[in-house]
């Protein structure tokens, strides 16, 4: 018996470990994504089936396993939908693998009740350990009642219920610890992944992310025979802002400028802070003429905007913008950054606060 229970615990840990890896590739927010919910429900449903394969038979019709723990995990991770999917897969497998009888019927009903009950518990604003504790207690009560119904009129259900409570409680506690560790680990991983791609000050893509997106955009433009434009943007005389008002105020100006850039670009354009006071805007499927219009709109928006300082004072700044477009202004798409930089320097040499291509 203890060997089979150990195998059940090993299966749970293996599935959770697999889930950890899947969680790194799925939606980082996880819980509200339909695809994530479906995958969680399916994977944990398979886990419940594996747990039943290595179940412990107690008597002629009673089977002890931990199939309800995947239901708890599904509810914790995604709510009602994945919990019902997990319970549904487990129920179908229970009937196919062990046959149709009164015990199977009770097991199916119990699984569905557990899915709904645990989902209701986790929907409440409780700490994770309380959600897990209450879900475990609810599952044990449902299982106890199921054992009582199945064994009514036969052998005493209490030794079986006691054995199940002890084994389930131990495995549930160990599983909770590992689930909590896995969730914490994935949150940290996703946060670091996000931070590694974002500029810490403005929230825009950083240079590393820009390079990755730029490489992908080049490939897409070539494969789909689309145009690709790039704006290189630099704040005019930004050093004077820092020297006059201090770096904290300069940081506020950079954050405000990032919002202006995002507002004046198309929804699918990629705005990045490439370093210091230099920004870029990658414009997929955008002709030279359209790119120039967007650049001029950005330039005018910055010129006409008053940037508030923490002292209550407002200042004005301007930007110079270089525009390069493939295939309108250059034939070699790999030189897009180089050409946009050249256009930017041309704008600065020509008096600043202008757009050049």
* CATH code where residue 63 lies: 1.10.1760.20
Give yes or no: residues 90 and 129 share one domain: yes
Q: Flag whether pLDDT at 99 surpasses 90.
A: no
Both 146 and 21 in one domain: the answer is yes
Q: How far lies 38's CA from each of 26, 61, 108, 273, in Å? A: 11, 32, 20, 37
Asked if the model's pLDDT at residue 342 lies above 60, the reply is yes
pTM: 0.61
Say if residues 43 and 22 touch (Cβ distance below 8 Å). Answer: yes
pLDDT at 227 over 90: yes
* Residue 202 maps to a domain: no
3-42 confidence digits (pLDDT tens): 767 787 788 888 888 777 766 655 544 456 788 888 889 9
Residues 211 and 191 in one domain: no
Among 166, 195, 224, where does a domain finish?
195
CA–CA distance, 78 with 74 (Å, rounded to integer): 6
Are 20 and 158 in the same domain?
Answer: yes
Please say whether the beta carbons of 2 and 47 come within 8 A. Answer: no
Helix orientation angle between 68-78 and 158-197, rounded to the nearest 10 degrees? 30
Domain final residue, candidates 195, 218, 253: 195
Chain segment 245-259, per-residue pLDDT in tens: 999 999 999 999 999
For residue 318, give the nearest of 221, 235, 232 by alpha carbon. 235
Whether 227 contacts 327, CB under 8 Å:
yes
In 3-state terms, the chain is what percent helix, strand and coil (to 5)?
A: 65, 10, 20
CB 107 within 8 A of CB 146: yes
Q: What is the pLDDT of residue 97?
A: 84
What value does the mean pLDDT take over residues 337-348? 94
Query: In which domain, by residue range, is 98 found?
Result: 2-195
Number of structural domains found in the chain: 2
Evaluate the CA torsion angle 20, 22, 26, 30 in order and state its sign: negative
Q: What is the mean pLDDT of residues 103-124?
A: 92
Q: In the prediction, which pLDDT does 83 show? A: 94
Regarding whether 70 and 49 lie in a shared domain, the answer is yes
pLDDT at 158: 80
The CATH code of the domain that includes 292 is: 3.30.70.270
Q: Is the pLDDT of residue 81 over 60?
A: yes
The pair of three-digit structure tokens given for residue 35, joined into one six-digit string: 């695809």
Domain boundary among 173, 195, 217: 195
Same domain, 182 and 257: no
User: What is the C-alpha separation between 139 and 134, in angstroms, rounded?
Assistant: 9
Report the pLDDT value the prediction gives residue 23, as an integer from 0 to 100.
Answer: 63
End-to-end CA separation in angstroms for the chain: 77
Look up tokens 């630099």; give the residue.
Answer: 234
Given this model, what pLDDT does residue 57 score?
65
pLDDT, average across residues 310-331? 91
Residue 102's pLDDT band, with cuts at 50, 70 and 90, is confident
* Co-location of 29 and 166 in the same domain: yes
The mean pLDDT of 143-153, rounded to a whole number, is 81
Cβ(262)–Cβ(294) under 8 Å? no
Contact at 8 Å (CB) between 288 and 229? yes
pLDDT for position 60: 59
User: Does 136 share its domain with 274?
Assistant: no
| Residues acting as catalytic residues | 277
Q: 187 and 321: one domain? A: no
What pLDDT does 174 receive? Answer: 87
More confident residue, 168 or 6: 168
Does residue 230 belong to any structural domain of this protein?
yes
CB-based contacts of 220: which residues, under 8 Å, 6+ apart? 226, 284
Residue of 52 and 81 predicted with greater confidence: 81
Looking at per-residue pLDDT, the higher value among 61 and 187 belongs to: 187
Q: Are residues 41 and 154 in the same domain?
A: yes
Domain annotation covers residue 314:
yes
Residue 337 lies in a domain: yes
The answer on 228 and 116 residing in a single domain is no
pLDDT at 164: 81
User: Are residue 321 and residue 291 in the same domain, yes or no?
Assistant: yes
């Amino acid at each position: 018996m203890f060997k089979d229970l150990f195998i059940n615990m090993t299966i749970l840990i293996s599935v959770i470990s697999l889930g950890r890896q899947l969680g790194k590739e799925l939606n980082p927010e996880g819980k509200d994504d339909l695809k994530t919910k479906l995958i969680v429900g399916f994977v944990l449903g398979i886990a419940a089936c594996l747990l039943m394969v290595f179940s412990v038979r107690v008597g002629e019709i009673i089977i002890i396993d931990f199939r309800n723990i995947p239901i708890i995990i599904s509810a914790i991770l995604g709510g009602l939908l994945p919990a019902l999917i997990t319970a549904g897969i487990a129920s179908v497998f229970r009937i196919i693998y062990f046959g149709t009888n009164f015990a199977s019927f009770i097991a199916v009903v119990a699984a569905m009740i557990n899915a709904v009950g645990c989902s209701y518990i986790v929907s409440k604003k409780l700490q994770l350990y309380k959600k897990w504790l209450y879900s475990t207690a609810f599952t044990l009560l449902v299982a106890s009642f199921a054992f009582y119904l199945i064994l009514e009129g036969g052998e005493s259900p209490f030794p079986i219920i006691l054995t199940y409570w002890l084994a389930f409680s131990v495995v549930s506690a160990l599983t909770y610890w590992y689930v909590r560790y896995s969730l914490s680990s994935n949150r940290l991983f996703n946060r670091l992944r996000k931070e590694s791609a974002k500029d810490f000050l403005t929230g825009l893509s950083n240079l590393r992310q820009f390079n990755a997106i730029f490489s992908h955009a080049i490939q897409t433009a070539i494969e789909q025979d689309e145009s690709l434009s790039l704006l290189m943007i630099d704040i005019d005389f930004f050093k004077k802002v820092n020297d006059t008002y201090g770096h904290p105020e300069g940081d506020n100006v950079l954050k405000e400028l990032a919002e202006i850039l995002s507002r004046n670009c198309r929804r699918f354009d990629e705005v990045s802070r490439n370093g210091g006071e230099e920004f870029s805007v990658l414009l997929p499927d955008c002709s030279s003429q359209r790119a120039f219009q967007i650049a001029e709109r950005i330039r005018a928006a910055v010129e006409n905007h008053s940037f508030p300082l923490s002292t209550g004072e407002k200042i004005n700044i301007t930007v110079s913008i270089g525009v390069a477009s493939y295939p309108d202004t250059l034939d070699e798409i790999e030189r897009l950054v180089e050409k946009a930089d050249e256009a930017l320097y041309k704008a600065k040499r020509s008096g600043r606060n202008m757009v050049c291509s």
